[in-house]
Structure 1
Amino acid sequence: MQKIVKKVGEYYLDIYYPIGEFDETELPILYVLDGDAFASTISEAVKLQIRNSGKTGVNPMIIVGISYHNSDPFNKEKRFIDFTPTKIHEDNPVDFRFGMPKGGGINKFITTFIQIHQIIINDFSIDKGHVGILGHSLGGLCVLEFMLRDKLSFLTDFLAISPSLWWDNNEYFNKLDVFDKSKLSQKRVIISVGSNEGDMVELSNKAFKLVSSCNSIKACTYYIIEDENHMSVVFTVISRYLRWFSMSSEPLGGINIER
C-alpha cells in the first residue's frame, strides 16, 4: 500500500492505496475516523490480505484515515467535538460519565467530511457504489449519526465498533425512532461490541434491532465479541470488518439481516 498525506483545514488525510495492477481499477473507499490510532493498522491488514484475496476474503480498497497528527493517538478534545451532536439533555451527576467534554460539533465536521470526499473522488478512481466509514467509540456514534444524514447519502456502508450510544442520555434512539428508515434502502450496517463493555452491549444490540427492522436495508450485521473490552475489540474485529466490507452480500456469522 502506498501512502500519501493531504491536509484539509485542521485535518490530515492519511491515504493508503494499492499500487501496480490496481492503478486503473475503481476501488472501494473506506474512511477511518481516529485515523492517527487506526488507519495504519487497518491499511497493513489490507496490504497483507489482498495478496491472496481468494483465501482471505479481503479485496483491494483505499483507506483514508481522518487524522489530527498530534502527539497522541486520540485527540480527546477534538474527537469529542467532531464526533458528537449537540446535547439537549442535562448531564446526570450520578452517571460515571458525568463531566465528559461538552462536544456538539458534528454538523461542522460533516461539512468538512463532504469536502474531504470531494477531494478523494477527484484524485482517485473510486467505486462510488462502495463507500464506507468506520469508527470506534465516539467514532462509532459518529458513523451511526452519519447514517441519518441526507447530506451523506453517498455513503453506502457504515461500520461501527462499540458506538458511544450513551451520549446525551441515549438521545440517538429518539432520532432513530422518528427517522425515515426507507432512506436506508441499499445501505449496509455492521455493529460490534466487546462482551466486557457493560451497558454498551445492551445499547449496541438495541441499535441493531432498530436498524435491522428496516425492510429495505441491504444488510445489517451485529457481533458481540466474547472476552473483549472497549479497546481490544477493535483489533479483534478488523479483519472481520474488512471481509464484510469486501463482500457485498455474504453473511459472516454473527446475527445477520441480509436482503
Structure 2
Amino acid sequence: MTGNHNAAPTTQNSAADIEMEPFTPHRHEQCRRFQIVSASGLSYEIFVSIPRQAPPPEGFPVLYLLDANADFALADQVLERLSRRPEATGVAPAILVGIGYPETEGYNQPRRHFDLTAGPTRDPFYAKTALTFGGQSAFIAFLQDRLKPLIRSRFPADSRRETILGHSLGGYFVATLATAKPDLFSGYIAISPSIWWDRDGLLASLAVPSPSRPQTIRLYLAAGSQEGETATGEQNAGTQTSAHDALRQRRRMIGNVRDLAERCKAVCRDAVDLRLDIIADEDHSSIFVACLPKALRFTLPFSSAD
C-alpha cells in the first residue's frame, strides 16, 4: 500500500522545496495541496484552503483537520458557508489545513491507526488485526516541528489561534493532545472520540495548560445520542445484533466523553473553556455533520475585532 509506515524512509524535504499545487475541490482558487515528509520518513498529503476575505493584520485563525482525504471537502464547504457572514453565524473566517495521505481516497486505516495511537488497545475487536500502532509521538512531533511552522511561514496564519479537529479515532487523538499537550493548540474539537482505545491512559495524562498561556484553551466534545443505545434505524430494519449491542456497551461512547468532560472540569478549572454536546438522534457517522457548525462556532468565534 502506498504510504505504508513500514516503507523505506523518504528524504525530508525543506520548506523551500515544497511545491504547492493549486486545486479546486468545489469553490474557489484559494486552495493548495502538497506532499511533505516527516522527520521519521513518512509522507503526508496536505490540503490548504484560504478564506476569500483579506486577512486581518494578525492573520487568520487556522483549523487543522485529521483524515482529510475523507473529510476535507465537507469541512471546507461548511467553514466557507458559515464564514461568509461571520457577524451573523459567529464563525470567523479561517485557514483550513487538511492532513491526509498520498494516493488515498477515504480513510487510510493502516496509516491512521499508526499515527493516532501510542500503542495497541485491549479491545478484543483488534485481537487479530494486521494493523500496527504506536506512531503517535512521531506524529505529534510532525505537527509541532514540521507542519505548523510551514503553515505559519507560507500563509497569513495567526499562531495564537490554532485549532485541531478529529472524529472517532481522530477524536481520541485530539482528546489525547488536549489532555497531555494542552499548549500545542488553542482549540481542540473531539467528535465522538474513541476514548475506549486507552481510557485509563488518557484520563491519567490530564495536564493543566501552562500558566504563561495568555488565554484559556477551548475544548469541544460531542457524541450522538444513538452511540450509547440501540439506534432507531437499526431497530426498524431489524439488523441490530447482540454482538453490535455488546460493542456499544463495551465502548461506552457517551459515558466516556462525559467522564472526560468531568475530569477536565475538576483538574483544569479555569484553564479550559469546555463544551460538551450529546446531540439527539445522531450516531457515530452522522454526528460529524450534525455538530460541525456548533464546534466551529465555539472554537473559531468571530468578534468585531476580526
TM-score, normalised via structure 1 length: 0.85
Query: Which structure 2 residues correspond to residues 163-182 of structure 1 after superposition, within 5 A?
Result: 163-168=193-198, 170-176=200-206, 179=207, 181-182=208-209
Q: What is the rounded CA distance, in whole Å, between the counterparts of 1:156 and 1:80 in structure 2? A: 25
Q: Does 1:157 align with 2:187?
A: yes
- Which of 273, 280, 285 is residue 231 of structure 1 equivalent to? 285
Structure 1 residue 125 displacement after superposition? 1.8
Equivalent pairs counted in the alignment come to: 241
| C-alpha contact (below 8 Å) 2:220/2:299 kept by paired residues | no
Q: What is the rounded CA distance, in whole Å, between the counterparts of 2:154 and 2:36 in structure 1? A: 14
Task: State the AA in 1 paired with 2:217.
Answer: K
- The unaligned stretches of length 5 or more in structure 1 are 250-259
Residues 99 and 231 from structure 1, CA distance in 2 versus in 1: closer, same or farther, beyond 3 angstroms?
A: farther
Q: Does 1:122 align with 2:153?
A: yes
Task: Report Cα offsets for 1:138-186 as digits up to 9, x if no partner.
Answer: 1011111112444x7241101100111111464312323xx3x254862
Residues 169 and 240 from structure 1, CA distance in 2 versus in 1: closer, same or farther, beyond 3 angstroms?
A: closer
- Which of 27, 30, 33 is residue 60 of structure 2 equivalent to? 27
Q: What is the rounded CA distance, in whole Å, between the counterparts of 2:193 and 2:114 in structure 1? A: 16
Query: Which structure 2 residues correspond to residues 178-193 of structure 1 after superposition, within 5 A?
Result: 179=207, 181-183=208-210, 186-193=216-223
Structure 1 residue 23 displacement after superposition? 7.4
Q: What is the rounded CA distance, in whole Å, between the counterparts of 1:203 and 1:98 in structure 2? A: 22
Residues 97 and 201 from structure 1, CA distance in 2 versus in 1: closer, same or farther, beyond 3 angstroms?
A: farther
Task: State the AA in 2 paired with 1:75.
Answer: N
Task: State the AA in 1 paired with 2:225.
Answer: S
Q: Which has the larger radius of gyration?
A: 2
Structure 1 residue 51 displacement after superposition? 1.8
Counterpart of 1:62?
95
Q: What is the rounded CA distance, in whole Å, between the counterparts of 1:55 and 1:193 in structure 2? A: 26
Task: Report Cα offsets for 1:198-223 as digits up to 9, x if no partner.
Answer: 31100010001111222232410001
- Which of 133, 139, 162 is residue 170 of structure 2 equivalent to? 139
- The unaligned stretches of length 5 or more in structure 2 are 1-27, 38-42, 229-251
Q: What is the rounded CA distance, in whole Å, between the counterparts of 2:258 and 2:127 in structure 1? A: 23
- Which of 142, 146, 150 is residue 112 of structure 1 equivalent to? 142
| C-alpha contact (below 8 Å) 1:128/1:154 kept by paired residues | no
Structure 1 residue 20 displacement after superposition? 4.5
Structure 1 residue 25 displacement after superposition? 5.6
- Which of 262, 265, 287 is residue 212 of structure 1 equivalent to? 265
Q: Report SS of the residue matched to 1:215.
A: helix
Q: What value does the CA root-mean-square deviation take over the aligned residues?
A: 2.3
Which 10-residue stretch deviates more, 205-214 or 19-28?
19-28
Q: What is the rounded CA distance, in whole Å, between the counterparts of 1:174 and 1:59 in structure 2? A: 34
Counterpart of 1:203?
256
